[in-house]
């Protein structure tokens, strides 16, 4: 039900997404790129890839990097496909975070930016991410952090007015979800401020030994 609402919302937003969120996207994704420390030989999956801006950023540095992006919005994906059309090793698929259409142990790095608060079953998404991640791979998730006032306010407002929105988490709640999915947090940071209201958190996690 929520996924249908999210899909509709992002299908409607797709044409203006890059322009409307230009600063937010540029700031969050350049942060994510340096945090994630992706190497040119990694096979990367981006869950909730949107319009493919993260892919564009990575490919500007590593033009032969293998990347797959998944998203539930066909219109967001259409823009991503267009942006990356000159890279034959980059592909995009219409898929939900909780049903990833890939074999187990396929990716070295799985990233997700500003999408986790839309997942209606975050544990199912993390379990899928764990399944398709190689045993020695890492997942890097960047999302809003409810430990801070700006996101607390957004959380209340969006829960009332935005039917696509699920919830954002405190860092403790987020790490607990990762633990529940059998990930161990390797490196984490919160209170990453972008603009006046946005305070995000990031975690790099690995599958527990």
Ligand X SMILES: C[S@@+](CC[C@H](N)C(=O)[O-])C[C@H]1O[C@@H](n2cnc3c(N)ncnc32)[C@H](O)[C@@H]1O
53 binds ligand X (CB under 6 A): yes
Taking CB under 6 A as the criterion, the residue among 36, 44, 45, 49 binding ligand X is 49
The rounded distance, in Å, linking the Cα atoms of 205 and 209 is 12
Selected range binding ligand X among 58-66, 109-117, 146-154, 175-183, rule: CB under 6 A: 109-117
- Mention every residue, 6+ apart, whose C-beta is less than 8 A from residue 140: 32, 35, 36, 109, 110, 111, 112, 202, 203, 204, 205
Taking CB under 6 A as the criterion, the residue among 38, 58, 65, 71 binding ligand X is 71
Q: Is the CB of 144 or the CB of 148 nearer to ligand X?
A: 144
143 binds ligand X (CB under 6 A): no
Give the DSSP H or E segment for 131. helix 122-132
Taking CB under 6 A as the criterion, the residue among 45, 58, 72, 129 binding ligand X is 72
The rounded distance, in Å, linking the Cα atoms of 82 and 116 is 25
Selected range binding ligand X among 2-10, 145-153, 171-179, 192-200, rule: CB under 6 A: 2-10
10 binds ligand X (CB under 6 A): yes
Strands of 198-207's sheet, edge to edge? 90-94, 66-71, 43-47, 107-113, 133-144, 198-207, 183-194
181 binds ligand X (CB under 6 A): no
The rounded distance, in Å, linking the Cα atoms of 26 and 61 is 15
126 binds ligand X (CB under 6 A): no
118 binds ligand X (CB under 6 A): yes
Q: Retrieve residue 74's tokens.
A: 């066909």
Q: Which residues bind ligand X (CB under 6 A)?
A: 3, 6, 10, 25, 28-29, 47-50, 53, 70-73, 76, 96-97, 113-115, 118-119
């Amino acid at each position: 039900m929520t996924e249908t609402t999210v899909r509709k919302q992002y299908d409607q937003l797709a044409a203006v997404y890059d322009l409307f969120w230009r600063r937010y996207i540029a700031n969050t994704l350049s942060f994510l790129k340096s945090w994630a420390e992706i190497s040119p030989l990694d096979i990367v999956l981006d869950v909730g890839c949107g319009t493919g801006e993260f892919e564009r950023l990575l490919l500007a540095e590593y033009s032969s990097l293998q990347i797959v992006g998944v998203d539930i919005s066909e219109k967001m994906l259409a823009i991503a496909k267009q942006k990356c059309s000159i890279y034959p090793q980059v592909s995009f698929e219409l898929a939900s975070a909780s049903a990833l259409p890939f074999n187990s142990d396929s990716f070295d790095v799985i990233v997700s930016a500003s999408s986790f608060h839309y997942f209606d079953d975050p544990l199912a998404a993390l379990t899928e991410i764990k399944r398709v991640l190689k045993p020695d791979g890492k997942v890097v998730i960047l999302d809003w952090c409810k430990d801070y006032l700006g996101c607390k306010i957004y959380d209340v407002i969006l829960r009332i007015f935005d039917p696509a929105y699920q919830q954002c988490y405190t860092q403790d709640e987020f790490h607990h979800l990762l633990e529940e999915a059998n990930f161990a947090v390797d490196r984490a940071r919160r209170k990453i401020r972008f603009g006046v209201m946005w305070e995000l958190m990031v975690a790099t996690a690995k599958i527990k030994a």
